[in-house]
Structure 1
């Protein structure tokens, strides 16, 4: 006997399934609306029911609705929920998927012929562009430059407008100054044109261009789509916003949904300002706040709320105050460990205890700020025999820099004569891959590469601590064992993920590790806006937990090291819940040393002329703002420029690759007389010290630039170099 078809829900049935705030979103399907949806408050439920109610109530034709989100997974989830609500025909797509479909359809009409081929990635084109300019960038630097290209394009910048905008945004592209990056943007476009291809940003840019130039095409699309829903609206960048405005064509039948407190992708051009200013742009727009958290226990929700409370007791940046709907659970627990290896071992032991108590592996996650932190937790879980999965990145031992490092270590193990301590020998070997103790000043792939190599150096120190007889072959055997243990068949496992990769996911149990200054917020976050984004990132981590939340931090990096770390400043508002381990030494009456040093390091740099905050790398290098006149000796600066030009010609590289103008100004102002003085100047790294120190010091002292070119690098002052 065949089953009768399911009965489609009525419009009233759809509203009946919602809470009061969600019902307010769904029951007014026409006109502009902004939905501020806190973490776990059912925003996808609200907007899919809004669409379903509009269709079943006769306000929408489903084929004239375009629902836009940011990931294919989220778009698929939206389509599934609409199908369950008996709604078919709604287009639920990402911005890029919707634009690409329109581009292919309208290209023959608007341009003629077939649309250009889409590059799967821009790495090789960026590499070719760099080569045309004589820039020598390694693979990690090229990845970061590719990210900078994306930022420029989604910010609607041209090569001419890039430098000023990047300076205001405090962008620091790796391996070059802003002028060089602007040249690379131009060269990159030339490479694409020669290849006859486009990149993912071009999909949006070209669609925008066609809609702006061809009113007939714009009219066709606007006739097709009358109603719009945009999810994760806090992540919209300038280019996506422009495309959305062209789709709308001045109409206001749009519902946007987002959470300002979960804006964590500003480095890609995302900004919550479009969400926060929505009602100002759309007259008569309503605002609904979804505050009922169905995901997390009251204890987790309370911690999340405290993290977003500003010093005056208000909410930060338009965030909502969550109200927990679940039954009570265990209180979040903060555990302070002595060092990083002990922290990783504690986490593995706690995970083992949870699994033994019946928690499924798939419902446990270990979250951290940087991908470089994953190695310690991978190793500790592997040692404990606990399967794990790395989300949002390669397994540690699959990373290119780690594979290259192990090859070098295996080769060096054959000739290890025991004359150097193991950690020192490992640092020497990894120096061939560009390792230095000095942390890179930029985020992205360069930072991740450095973190990976640092993890190997740290591992060598732990292995060396087993005894004086431990040598490099022992470390290689240790690495081989770890590689073998972590390439077991794919099974259900604990999730390891960075906080960025964890966005949009949730687990019953979350361990948020590394909750200390320098990691959360990360050390590179040296401005108020960057620090606030780090706060939001930690908030995202906390709100991934449904029931159990552990937070951890370690007092020092290595066993036996000085306990110089302090807890993340973001824990301070929750110290009443988490205990004294959440308080900085100064606020708890203890030693002020570490905390004072951290605050001094995090304080913004000031102009030595007018005390204004220095916002760009060039300003920080010279120590003055653009409004204050230079105080260096002009003759010294001109000699340095002449020397730099001669070096760049001899090495066939652009002059700025040797030193930027800002660094030359800083050198002229400091007038260094020894390598120690030169090493203290921003922009003078270990490699440039080795290559140029003696020549620069001679030129500063008055030597003729041409006469010092044949001077060989000296190793006589190596002991004067700082770490790294």
Structure 2
């Protein structure tokens, strides 16, 4: 323990609030941490305090921290290792996504016979159920525009799948293609969650889940709790009921994942039901200027703000939509074309984009993993191996003509064909348009800055941040933000990433600029 603390080094730099939050003896707590208040550091210290607590030296159960994205768990894992050493994560102690916990719980239900998978006795005659859980069905085949979907349910203990039709077409793997895969023990993380939701409605399954959590965990740290959905909340509450020491960390202003089913409004109810006290972290170390500190305070208080538009050397550009980042101009290199839909042509273009972002920005394209999955490329080193060929595609793009785009697309198809059996379609504007967008960056003089959406920028910080706003977003900011509005929270996250200054940036042909930042005279009614 002494060695671990000596290695940490950061303890002497913690504020009184941070020390109290990290080391409090209160069993279950909620740490409310705004931007720059040291949330990750406190979460890491809290993990270590539980991990090396002398009174639990002989307790075989795990200390586990969870978050909702691999990037967040990776960052927290690195922080814990730096502060407490590699021994902090010796098995069974670990830092994983919440999906990993869900997977463990479902496997336990299946092995106990409380949930029955189709053809389970044939698949796993020894009873050692091991599902092949994928991030998405795209790894098993391409998406097509279809209304075909499916729904999982439990009939008694037996898992049942029903084919349905959605109201609108969307790019999906058709349900008819998924049925035989499910019978082979293949599913997605979304399927795991769907099955657990149904299982929790059964008393014997709910009791087993609570028992399993109590048997496996002695402490649980939940990062970004406001991104939790109702199933996540139910599992957290089951852990509390099982006697697990639970630490919840988050900021209601930074809840962004409603599109994934997040329910930030139910977190206060969880805290109230379980009498969980709140420990606030109010001192932000991010703000390096009075201007940025005042902006952050005005945003949280609902004061209307108009961002300055003075020219500046940006470190990053942030928008709520990928499309808006591409519209800014060649000085910004977005890390994705748009939200990934699963098409093979889109995947190929993403691998090419990744080649550019790696070489120019030393950053991976946001959906590189999805692209490799869609093309059924198992070796994550393939993009590096393809670098000479991908650079050839870029050189073909550089002349800046439509003919160059078409030639580059055909060349890219051939390159991807050397590592993937997927068939890419012939040149069409729907497929070559991504390369045309990338071409504009190749012909732009100077080094571009990265372009990120609010979701990708969350958790990051830079010196000077440019924010691209649509008219309705600018109007909302000028009228004053409120924590209960999803759009307002996205604007808040985008405008609180800067250490020194946040400015507004515009499309390539900007409107007339207004100089200086100011508050609106009537925050709740004024427009910029």
Bucket of the pairwise TM-score, normalised by the shorter protein: 0.5 to 0.7
The count of corresponding residues between Structure 1 and Structure 2 is 411
Structure 2: how far apart are the matches of 1:8 and 1:123? 43
* Higher radius of gyration, 1 or 2: 1
Closer, same or farther: CA 333–210 of 1 in aligned 2, 3 Å = closer
Given candidates 82, 95, 105, the residue that maps to 2:98 is: 95
Deviation of 1:243 after TM superposition, in Å, equals 2.6
Match of 1:501 in 2: 456
1:106-505 aligned at under 5 Å gives the runs 107-110=110-113, 112-122=127-137, 139=145, 174-175=168-169, 193=182, 196-206=185-195, 213=204, 215=207, 218-251=210-243, 253-283=245-275, 285-297=276-288, 298-310=290-302, 334-335=308-309, 350=311, 354=313, 364-377=315-328, 379-381=329-331, 389-393=333-337, 476=402, 483-484=438-439, 486=441, 494-505=449-460
SS in 1 for 2:262: coil
Q: Does 1:538 align with 2:481?
A: no
Give me the TM-score of the superposition, normalised by structure 2.
Answer: 0.62
Closer, same or farther: CA 300–217 of 1 in aligned 2, 3 Å = closer
Closer, same or farther: CA 333–193 of 1 in aligned 2, 3 Å = closer
Structure 2: how far apart are the matches of 1:288 and 1:197? 42
Match of 1:66 in 2: 64
Residues 328-348 of structure 1: per-residue CA shift (max 9 Å, x gap) = xxx995229xxxxxxxxxxxx
Match of 1:516 in 2: 471
Closer, same or farther: CA 335–31 of 1 in aligned 2, 3 Å = same
Closer, same or farther: CA 364–52 of 1 in aligned 2, 3 Å = same
Structure 1: how far apart are the matches of 2:230 and 2:286? 31
Contact 2:330 2:440 in 1 (8 A): no
More helix by share: 1
Match of 1:551 in 2: 504
Deviation of 1:402 after TM superposition, in Å, equals 8.8
Listed as ranges, the gaps of 5+ residues in structure 2 are: 117-126, 153-159, 349-399, 407-435
Structure 1: how far apart are the matches of 2:18 and 2:199? 37
Deviation of 1:186 after TM superposition, in Å, equals 9.0
Deviation of 1:263 after TM superposition, in Å, equals 1.2
Given candidates 78, 81, 96, the residue that maps to 1:80 is: 78
Deviation of 1:27 after TM superposition, in Å, equals 2.2
Given candidates 18, 22, 41, the residue that maps to 2:18 is: 22
1:558-577 aligned at under 5 Å gives the runs none
SS in 2 for 1:9: helix
Structure 2: how far apart are the matches of 1:296 and 1:195? 53
Structure 1: how far apart are the matches of 2:106 and 2:458? 30
Contact 2:214 2:244 in 1 (8 A): no
Give me the TM-score of the superposition, normalised by structure 1.
Answer: 0.47
Closer, same or farther: CA 529–308 of 1 in aligned 2, 3 Å = closer
Match of 1:578 in 2: 517
Residues 73-104 of structure 1: per-residue CA shift (max 9 Å, x gap) = 22222222222324343321101123324545
Closer, same or farther: CA 553–222 of 1 in aligned 2, 3 Å = same
Closer, same or farther: CA 73–492 of 1 in aligned 2, 3 Å = farther
Structure 2: how far apart are the matches of 1:159 and 1:72? 29
Closer, same or farther: CA 390–558 of 1 in aligned 2, 3 Å = closer
SS in 1 for 2:309: strand
Given candidates 20, 27, 47, the residue that maps to 1:51 is: 47
Structure 1: how far apart are the matches of 2:339 and 2:247? 39
Structure 2: how far apart are the matches of 1:275 and 1:392? 32
Deviation of 1:273 after TM superposition, in Å, equals 2.4
Residues 270-300 of structure 1: per-residue CA shift (max 9 Å, x gap) = 02123322331113x2211111111123321
Residues 593-635 of structure 1: per-residue CA shift (max 9 Å, x gap) = xx9xxxxxxxxxxxxxxxxxxxxxxxxxxxxxxxxxxxxxxxx
Match of 1:9 in 2: 5
Match of 2:34 in 1: 38
Contact 1:29 1:51 in 2 (8 A): no
Contact 1:40 1:295 in 2 (8 A): yes
Closer, same or farther: CA 399–551 of 1 in aligned 2, 3 Å = farther
Closer, same or farther: CA 70–370 of 1 in aligned 2, 3 Å = same
Contact 1:233 1:274 in 2 (8 A): no
Report the aligned-residue RMSD. Answer: 5.1
Closer, same or farther: CA 260–33 of 1 in aligned 2, 3 Å = same
Deviation of 1:45 after TM superposition, in Å, equals 1.1
Using the TM superposition, name which of 30-39 and 299-308 deviates more.
299-308
Residues 703-723 of structure 1: per-residue CA shift (max 9 Å, x gap) = xxxxxxxxxxxxxxxxxxxxx
Structure 2: how far apart are the matches of 1:58 and 1:14? 21
Deviation of 1:232 after TM superposition, in Å, equals 0.2
Higher relative contact order (CA 8 A, sep 6+): 2
Closer, same or farther: CA 587–123 of 1 in aligned 2, 3 Å = same
Deviation of 1:482 after TM superposition, in Å, equals 6.6
Structure 2: how far apart are the matches of 1:304 and 1:202? 39
More strand by share: 2
Structure 1: how far apart are the matches of 2:489 and 2:308? 19
Contact 1:159 1:185 in 2 (8 A): no
Contact 1:36 1:259 in 2 (8 A): yes
